[in-house]
Structure 1
Amino acid sequence: MILGIGSDLCNIERMEATLARHGERFKQRVFTDIEQKKADSRPRAIAATYAKRWAAKEACSKALGTGLRMGIGWKDMAVTNLRSGQPVMHVTGWAAERLRAMTPAGHEAVIHVTLTDDHPWAQAFVVIEARPLVAGAPGQA
């Protein structure tokens, strides 16, 4: 069952201007070390990489049903990539608490995220799914 859906659009040029104006202070406040390393590894697409992750955090907060309020911090949501390139959303802190609270008993929450960009736009969609736990599966009673 779907627990939440969120989407967001971020202007890459606006992100580039924000990075130029606020630099390290902004990056340290909003993005995890892993997210920063990913952006730094893409010298031709630094602003686009940050813009996609910004959009993903906004989309995730919407899917959690809170937006960026009620205690969710920017770093409580983080995007990494599998070796295949597929993005993966991780939640910690209050975002993880909110996810646990909205997940029905007998289910596990799965966060799906997709990112795209086409200059000057970066876009993210997040879907939070509740999957029934299978009785007798490893780690299940």
Structure 2
Amino acid sequence: MIIGMGSDLCNIERIQNSLDRFGERFVNRVFTEVEKAKAAARPYTMAGTLAKRFAAKEAYSKAVGTGFKAGVFMKDIGVVNARSGAPTLALTGGAAARLAAITPEGHEAVVHLTLTDDHPWAQAFVVIEARPLNASPIAEKRDA
């Protein structure tokens, strides 16, 4: 079952302006070490890389229904890549606590994330799924 959805559209030029104006202070306040390393490896598209991650943080905060309050902070939401290369979220602190709070008992939360950009826009969609802990994949297909 779907327990949360969120989306965000971020202007890449706005992120570039923040980089130009605030530099490392902005980057260190908003992004995780993994996100900073990914952006540093892409010097020609750094603003776009960070804008997609900024949009993902915003989309997640909408999906859990809090925005950036109730203990959910930007640095608690980090975009990482699964082994397949697909983007997903690594959650800590208040962001992880909020996800646990909205996950129904007997279920596990699965966060789905998609990112895209086409200058000057970056976009992210987050869907949070609650899967029953005791359901087998075969039973789910049979019941469909």
Q: Same fold (TM over 0.5)?
A: yes
**5+ residue gaps, structure 2:** 137-144
The aligned counterpart of 1:23 is 23
The aligned counterpart of 1:125 is 125
Supply the distance in 1 between the matched residues of 2:19 and 2:50 (Cα, whole angstroms): 9
Supply the distance in 2 between the matched residues of 1:84 and 1:98 (Cα, whole angstroms): 27
Q: Does 1:43 align with 2:43?
A: yes
Q: Relative to structure 2, which stretch is displaced further, 43-52 or 126-135?
A: 126-135
The aligned counterpart of 1:86 is 86
Q: 1:135 to 1:10 in 2, by over 3 A?
A: closer
Q: Relative to structure 2, which stretch is displaced further, 15-24 or 127-136?
A: 127-136
The aligned counterpart of 2:52 is 52
Supply the distance in 2 between the matched residues of 1:50 and 1:36 (Cα, whole angstroms): 8
Which secondary structure does the structure 1 equivalent of 2:18 belong to? helix
The aligned counterpart of 2:12 is 12
Q: Which runs of 4+ in 1 moved over 4 A?
A: none
Tell me the number of residue pairs that the alignment of Structure 1 and Structure 2 aligns.
Answer: 136
Q: TM-score, normalised by structure 1?
A: 0.93
Q: TM-score, normalised by structure 2?
A: 0.91
1:83 Cα deviation (Å)?
A: 4.3
Supply the distance in 2 between the matched residues of 1:5 and 1:128 (Cα, whole angstroms): 6
Q: How does 1:58-77 map to 2 (within 5 A)?
A: 58-77=58-77
